[in-house]
A = this chain, B = another copy of it.
Amino acid sequence: MLTFTVEKTDSLARLGRMLLPHGTVSTPCFMPVGTQGTVKTLTPVEIAEAGAEIIVCNTYHLYLRPGHKRIQAAGGLSKFMGWNRPILTDSGGFQVYSLASMTRVTDEGAEFQSHVDGSRHMFTPELVVEIQEALGSDIAMCLDECPPYPVNRPVAENAAARTSLWAGRCSAARQPGTNLFGIVQGATYPDLREQSAKSLVALGLPGYAIGGLCLGEPSAVTYDMVGLVAALLPADRPRYLMGAGYPEDIIASVRLGVDMFDCVLPTRNGRTGTAFTSLGRVVIRNAKHADDPAPLDEACDCYACRTFSRAYLRHLFVVGESLGPRLLTLHNVRFFQRLMLGIRTAIEQGTFESWSSDFLARYQANTEPAQPE
């Protein structure tokens, strides 16, 4: 079961608390991504120490390997991966379209070929709910159809309609107690977004996600769509913007009333050597860091910043040592949790606008360009 309470607002920004089977989550929250049942390079203890209260895992990946029945037999995903806290599972719809090949989508479901071994599978709305229930997810997502950006109107219309159809079937299939979120589609067409939101709200689900954004469209368009949809969603249910990870986008969306975020950005960029810091992005391989005794971020309290110089971190990346990706991932995950803590504190104090301006002024002043190859 899910209980969501908005404890404070600052204009449209909301400070909230979400009670889930495996624990409580303060919102606005950022959920690190642990696609295959592990937030890449990190232990569950490190994820918790970084301040994360909920993570996102992936139905498509875990269904293929090791298999949801195996995880169910092991006592559920939280127990299997040693993370005794809330987990949201994405439905796998996005991965079916982006990773699998030979995907054929009909109203029945999405038929696809595994990216692992080429075997054929069919995801129906009912099956993805069943898989997520087997995993023991605290929050399960409906199967959706997520077209790429840009997409023409007939395709967007069809995908949004099918997503709503499937949401109804997911809702009908779920066990009592399964916290199922609907996903608003409609690409960048305001009237389709509105239709999609209204049809999902009619299902009375415990929470709603905004999907099909952060796919390369201009930020102004993203924010228009987020604002439009958020205003149509019920005030007493959590709102989740899928795939938003840049601090600018998170802050802009909190301002529009979004409560939950996830993105691979902190973990993926950490592995490739880009750190998010209070003074902007740092590309650790850049030669300017070769003799720098300073930590990644003077303002950060993570183990990497408390222990190592930029010079050492750069050395690890230059010589290809896996401790480098691990330490930058740890730092980035902590950075995003500190960002959310800053946001929550500002909402609590009614200073979200000024806090955001200050944060972004520092953050955007010093960001380094990526290293030229």
B318–A66 CB distance below 8 A: yes
A118 is an interface residue with CB less than 8 A from chain B = no
B82, B322, B323: the one contacting A308 at CB < 8 Å is B82
- Complex Cα distance A65/B318, Å? 8
Q: Which residues in B have their C-beta under 8 angstroms from that of A323?
A: 38, 40-43
Could you give, for residues 287-324 of chain A, a 1 whenever the CB lies within 8 Å of some chain B CB and a 0 otherwise?
00011010000000001000111011011101101110
Residue of B nearest to A316 (CB): B38
- Complex Cα distance A127/B73, Å? 60
Interface residues of A in 19-74 (CB under 8 A from B): 36-38, 40-45, 61, 65-66, 70, 73-74
A326 is an interface residue with CB less than 8 A from chain B = yes
Q: Which residues in B have their C-beta under 8 angstroms from that of A312?
A: 37, 74, 80-82
Residue of B nearest to A325 (CB): B322
A307–B40 CB distance below 8 A: no
A65–B319 CB distance below 8 A: yes
- Complex Cα distance A266/B99, Å? 36
B66, B303, B319: the one contacting A315 at CB < 8 Å is B66
B82–A290 CB distance below 8 A: no
Could you give, for residues 162-192 of chain A, a 1 whenever the CB lies within 8 Å of some chain B CB and a 0 otherwise?
0000000000000000000000000000000
Q: Which residues in B have their C-beta under 8 angstroms from that of A322?
A: 40-41, 322, 325-326
Interface residues of A in 261-291 (CB under 8 A from B): 290-291
Q: Which residues in B have their C-beta under 8 angstroms from that of A80?
A: 309, 311-312, 315
- Complex Cα distance A303/B49, Å? 15
Residue of B nearest to A329 (CB): B322
- Complex Cα distance A213/B246, Å? 54
Nearest CB of chain B from residue A92's CB, rounded to whole Å: 15
Interface centre among A37, A66, A308, A327 (most CB of B within 10 A): A66
- Known interface pairs A65-B319, A66-B315. Does A326 touch B41 (Cβ–Cβ under 8 Å)? yes
Interface residues of A in 239-267 (CB under 8 A from B): none
- Known interface pairs A307-B44, A321-B36, A322-B322. Does A73 touch B315 (Cβ–Cβ under 8 Å)? no
A residues contacting B by CB (< 8 A) are 36-38, 40-45, 61, 65-66, 70, 73-74, 80-82, 290-291, 293, 303, 307-309, 311-312, 314-316, 318-319, 321-323, 325-327
* Given A36-B321, A61-B319, 5 other A-B residues pairs in contact with their CB atoms under 8 A: A36-B315, A65-B318, A80-B309, A82-B307, A322-B322
